[in-house]
């Protein structure tokens, strides 16, 4: 696999992950569910998916 092919594969994987994450957040928002995140301060937080989509994405 050439360097160009390798970079294209990485780009496709990253784009697929972004799409999957967005779809997961939208489904959670439809179901009024929370997203569980851990910040740099190592504190686990429960954030409503709707808030996450509206303000952080």
**Tokens 């569910």, located at residue:** 33
Residue ranges of the chain with per-residue pLDDT less than 50: none
Six token digits for residue 55: 């303000």
Identify the pLDDT of residue 39: 87
Three-class HEC string of the chain? CCHHHHHHHHHHHHHHHHHHHHHHHHHHHHCCCEEEEECCCCCEEEEEHHHHHHHHC
Q: Domain map of the chain by residue range?
A: 3-56
Q: Cα separation of 8 and 55, whole Å?
A: 30
Radius of gyration of the chain from its Cα atoms, rounded to whole angstroms: 15
């Amino acid at each position: 696999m050439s360097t160009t092919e390798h970079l294209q594969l990485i780009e496709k994987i990253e784009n697929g992950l972004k799409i999957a994450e967005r779809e997961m957040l939208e489904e959670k928002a439809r179901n009024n569910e929370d997203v569980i995140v851990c910040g740099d301060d190592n504190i686990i937080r429960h954030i409503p998916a709707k808030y996450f989509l509206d303000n952080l994405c």
